[in-house]
Structure 1
Amino acid sequence: MTSAAEILTPAQLGQQLGARRALAFGAHPDDVDFGASATLAALAEEGTEVTLVLLTAGDAGGFDTGRSAEETARIRLAEQQAAAEVLGIREVILLGERDGFVEPSYELIGEVVRLMRTHRPDAVLSFHPERNWDRMQAAHPDHLACGEAVVRAAYPAVENPFAYPELAEQGLEAFRIKHLLLMGAPAERVNLRVDVTGFQDRKIEALSRHFTQHRDAERMVGFVTDQMLRIHGGDGYAEEFHHVVVNAPDTISGF
């Protein structure tokens, strides 16, 4: 957290973003639940239509080495869908990237562009593409690749009518992303905190749906709660982001 980071209520954030629709990207099931689930739950309650995209099924995660990758993928998707119901997320979409080996490839960026043009979100949430050296666990290579693919898609690919022309042929025309909310950012990049007081229990409840991922659930709850308290810096709970305005009313493309 930086002292310059603005703190907003969910209502203020929704108004600032003009957030009728939000599209959230995570590399694995539970990623977004750790980083931004209280904010998404609060926005959903304010009337924002939230869609979650998972790049992988998370089949390389968990602690049961006797379970097949296919079974792990099935379980983790079910866990994420259950968590999404807790948060008020409308839909969970699963892409087919390989867990542990995500790369911001031409094909993946094209899939992200396709989803952006399909859903036409007012705000896009994803990981930060820069590594956070303060806590390596927040900078999994798949997270960084997810962030890089989303940022590359947000500018310029999604708004470039010459990029992925096959999408335009399918009726998915270019349009401009306005806002990016990037989680897991290095401290010096954080410029927004969202006061999620009243939604902290919803976050914990969503995380608790990911049964396969918590060897010590009590410790997880304590860590996440302490983190929200620290980010708030007062007597409430907050989540933090690097808020990037990709296209403001006065933005000139290419400058």
Structure 2
Amino acid sequence: MLPFALPGVRRVALFGAHPDDIEIGAGGLLLSLASPGLSVSYTLLSGTPERQAEARAAAAAFLPGADITFALHDLPDGRAPAHWERAKSAVQAAALGGADLVVAPARDDAHQDHRLLAELVPTAFRDAVVLHYEIPKWDGDLGRRNVYVPLPDARARRKVELLHTHFPSQKDRDWWDDEVFLGLARLRGMECRSRYAEAYTCEKAVMSL
């Protein structure tokens, strides 16, 4: 396993198909990146006004001090591929601002809205590192990852705390609990010799020596 760093990340582009996708998949990474002066583009394809309000509050909590620009769209949940043109335009609009780091769903995600974003994002961001996150779900689509972000215990638990605080609309889902979130983080941590971690896929990167 080869450790590497991403120094000088000042512009981050975040993509989710639905409110809470970004924070479930990359909340620990966001807490690690958060700093004054960080510029963040935050794009969601869908969500009711109530759910989008949750996402705004969550982003502010996960990224304290960051300058966050929101682009919250209202594509029908589960129907994003049928609205390809609007989804593509949303991604292209976010790409106009550029980014050092891009965070998006994984190509092997079983949800069609997630997969669409995973396919569109790399076509718009050709000069940035793109990390594809994972989301635990009923479909059982968790796979092998090749990039890990170790999380100190306090940061992993802070992520879960913020998920519960800022997405109360999801509390009745049978999979929304500490054991799911921390269990996956513990498993990914074991894979990278840490207690907790988030795992991503990076399909293409250029190493500067």
Distance 2:24 2:76 in 1: 21
3-state DSSP class of the match of 2:18? coil
Q: 1:205 aligns with which of 137, 161, 166?
A: 161
Q: CA deviation at 1:210?
A: 0.5
Name the counterpart of 1:224: 181
Superposed CA offset, 1:193-250 (max 9, x none): 001214213311321111011216896112101111111114521100012335667x
> Which amino acid counterpart does residue 107 of structure 2 have in structure 1?
P
Name the counterpart of 1:142: 113
Distance 1:106 1:219 in 2: 32
Distance 1:205 1:177 in 2: 34
Name the counterpart of 2:148: 193
Name the counterpart of 1:183: 133
Distance 1:192 1:141 in 2: 23
1:76 aligns with 2:51: yes
Q: 2:197 aligns with which of 208, 232, 238?
A: 238
Name the counterpart of 2:90: 111
Distance 2:41 2:174 in 1: 27
Name the counterpart of 1:252: none
> Which amino acid counterpart does residue 58 of structure 2 have in structure 1?
A
CA RMSD of aligned residues (A): 2.7
Q: How many residues align?
A: 195
8 Å contact kept, 1:110–1:153: no
TM norm structure 1: 0.67
Q: CA deviation at 1:19?
A: 1.4
Distance 1:218 1:153 in 2: 33
1:85 aligns with 2:35: no
Identity among equivalent pairs (%): 26
> Which amino acid counterpart does residue 181 of structure 1 have in structure 2?
L
1:34 aligns with 2:9: no
8 Å contact kept, 1:195–1:232: yes
1:21 aligns with 2:18: no
Sort the Cα spacing of 1:111 and 1:241 in 2 relative to 1 into closer, same or farther, 3 A: same
Structure 2 residue ranges without an equivalent (≥5)? 135-140
Structure 1 residue ranges without an equivalent (≥5)? 58-72, 132-138, 155-175, 250-255
Distance 1:46 1:226 in 2: 31
3-state DSSP class of the match of 2:13? strand
Q: CA deviation at 1:130?
A: 2.3
Sort the Cα spacing of 1:45 and 1:235 in 2 relative to 1 into closer, same or farther, 3 A: same
> Which amino acid counterpart does residue 51 of structure 2 have in structure 1?
R
Name the counterpart of 1:102: 80
Distance 2:207 2:45 in 1: 28
Q: 1:127 aligns with which of 105, 116, 122?
A: 105
Query: Which structure would you say has the larger Rg?
Result: 1
Name the counterpart of 1:60: none
8 Å contact kept, 1:28–1:54: yes
Superposed CA offset, 1:12-41 (max 9, x none): 6332xx411110100000001110011012
Superposed CA offset, 1:142-194 (max 9, x none): 1111212213333xxxxxxxxxxxxxxxxxxxxx4221101128633x11100
Distance 1:186 1:223 in 2: 13
Name the counterpart of 1:69: none
Higher relative contact order (Cα pairs below 8 Å, separated by 6+ residues): 1
Distance 2:124 2:50 in 1: 30
Sort the Cα spacing of 1:85 and 1:207 in 2 relative to 1 into closer, same or farther, 3 A: same
